[in-house]
Amino acid sequence: MIKLKDLLFERYSIKPQDLVSVKNKYGVSNFKNMIKGGIDKNSKLDDNMKLYLKDLIDGKVNMKKYPIEHPTFFNEVEKDFGEVLGSIYVANNGKIEFPTSLTFPLVDFLVHDKNKIRQYSAKGGKSTSNTMKIKDIANIIDNNTEYYSLYKDTFTYYVMDILNQSSVKDAALNLADVLNISYDKNKQDDGHERYRVEKEVINYLNKEIDKFNKMINSILTIDYVMTKINSKTGNSTITIKSAKNIGIKFRSKNNAPTTHKPQGRWKDKIGFQVR
């Protein structure tokens, strides 16, 4: 029987940083071997999981070989191990690097070719995980004189600035004030009212989403590598979206109050979802 705490807290440590040193650059063949070595040393994986991950790297998955009964495992493979699979997929003859510095906002890994560095952000196949932090976009603009001059007085930057400076609970209310969206100011602490306002704000912003799309596509120099794990076959499907051709929309992961959570769930600010 699977316990609730296992569904919520089970972690397998299968991000690249868990399996290899991120201080080095790797050719594809060497990277595969190093990752496999890291998998073998991972005490959080059982033998079936280890064999599956190594076969997944080589594209030789046969689910009959390794019965895996943990439902959270494949979710984490898609979300975390996708960085490994994605980097192998796009590297070709380049060298793979996983940056540890904030000088590469939004970037999960780099590929060094002879005359250029390609930057990538890895995303899991589920739409809820394909998110982009608004503060990262704002940081890129703030740290680039040309971008800042271009966008500092725009509606898009104004919205992002309010979101960045607001708390999770106040973000929608603060935007409602400037967008002329009405709400009962005597019920600012009421979870139902706050959730209603947040939905209305998101709907308003998504009607203006083309403005945000144009801004983001003009400043990003990275591509998105999307990894999806087939729940039946265990195989991976990897697709690439150019940063010059991505689509976004506003989303929130917050929830309205329920019997079990009378105040609702308020953990995430309104953000961008990559489509």
State the Cα–Cα distance between residues 147 and 34, nearest whole angstrom. Answer: 40
66 and 178 housed in the same domain: no
pLDDT cut 70: percent of the chain above it? 91
pTM: 0.68
124: three-class secondary structure by DSSP: strand
Pick from 124, 151, 171: which residue ends a domain? 124
State the Cα–Cα distance between residues 248 and 114, nearest whole angstrom. Answer: 32
* Mean predicted confidence (pLDDT) in 123-152: 80
263 and 188 housed in the same domain: yes
27 and 111 housed in the same domain: yes
Task: Give the pLDDT confidence of 4-21 residue by residue, as tens digits.
Answer: 444 444 589 999 999 999
pLDDT of residue 69: 81
pLDDT of residue 232: 86
193 and 257 housed in the same domain: yes
Residue 129 lies in a domain: no
91 and 166 housed in the same domain: no
Residue 158 lies in a domain: yes
Degrees to nearest 5, angle at CA 102 with 20 and 214: 115
55 and 75 housed in the same domain: yes
Query: Dihedral angle at the C-alpha atoms of 79, 84, 86, 91, nearest 10 degrees?
Result: 160
Whether 127 has a pLDDT exceeding 60, the answer reads no
Whether 88 has a pLDDT exceeding 60, the answer reads yes
State the Cα–Cα distance between residues 161 and 142, nearest whole angstrom. Answer: 11
181 and 91 housed in the same domain: no
72 and 178 housed in the same domain: no
